[in-house]
Amino acid sequence: MKAFALAFGYAMVLPTLALAECPGVTAGELTVSKAWSRVTIGTQRPAVFYVEIRNDGQTDDRLIGIETSAAGMPMLHQTVIKDGVASMPHAAAVEIPAGQTVSLAPGGYHGMLMDLTRPLVEGESFPVTLTFEQAGAVEIETRILPIRAQEAQCDAER
């Protein structure tokens, strides 16, 4: 009975914790939030990383890299459609202009997580460190959503 109560307690607490992650983390004038990825089938396919970055400052910044223990080779990429053909060039940096919010989102900029160290399992999360030219490094927990997910599953925005 006690075990049941404990399990029930966790079930209640976990979603709350997950939601609490959504407001994001700050570094200087930047707020990083809504970090999410999709479930992977095994470790062979590259996984994806999406996030939202808000720059409340007066100075432009740039996202210049991502790191994570979940992948041996995480890189910034961008989906580009030219003459109807989709390609995914490596993006050296993503500009985060002063006063603006930039999203890594389906169909545009995204982190491509190659050489996964383990399969990404729905409901779990993993840390990703974003490195900005001005603001430095910021770590955020990235939620693993179903393969069908198209956006972060949280609307909590401070």
Partner 1 sequence: MRRRTLILGGAGLAGAFGFTLGLGAWRSGDLQGSAPDATAANSRADLSRMAWRLIDDRGAPVGPQDWLGRASMVFFGFTWCPDVCPTTLMDIADWLEGLGPDADRIGIAMITVDPQRDSPAVLAEYLSNFDPRIRGLTGTPDAVATAAAAFGVTYARVPQSDGDYTMNHTSGVFVFQPSGELASVIDFHEERRFAVPKIRRAIG
Binding site for partner 1 (CB under 8 A): 38-39, 41, 44-48, 72-73, 77-95, 97, 100-103, 105-110, 112-115, 146-148, 150
Which residues on neighbouring strands pair with residue 54, listed in sequence order? 31, 101
Query: Minimum CB separation from partner 1 for residue 41, in Å?
Result: 6
Beta-carbon contacts of 43 under 8 Å, excluding residues fewer than 6 positions away, are: 116, 117, 118, 119
Complete DSSP assignment for 17-79: HHHHHTT-EEETTEEEEEEEEE--STTTS-EEEEEEEEE-SSS-EEEEEEEETTEEEEEEEE-
Q: How far is the CB of 132 from partner 1 (least distance, A)?
A: 14
27 or 145, CB closer to partner 1? 145
- With respect to partner 1, which residue has the nearer C-beta, 14 or 98? 98
Give least dist CB 40 to partner 1, A: 9
**Half-sphere exposure of 145 toward its Cβ, with a 13 Å CA cutoff?**
17
- DSSP label at 133? T
Measured from the CB atom, is 19 or 119 closer to partner 1? 119
Nearest CB to partner 1, comparing residues 27 and 96: 96
Q: How far is the CB of 14 from partner 1 (least distance, A)?
A: 23
For residues 11 and 85, which CB has a smaller minimum distance to partner 1 in the complex?
Answer: 85
Greatest Cα pair distance in the chain: 63
CB of 9 to partner 1, least distance (A): 32
Alpha-carbon distance values, 156 to 33, 63, 99 (Å): 9, 23, 20
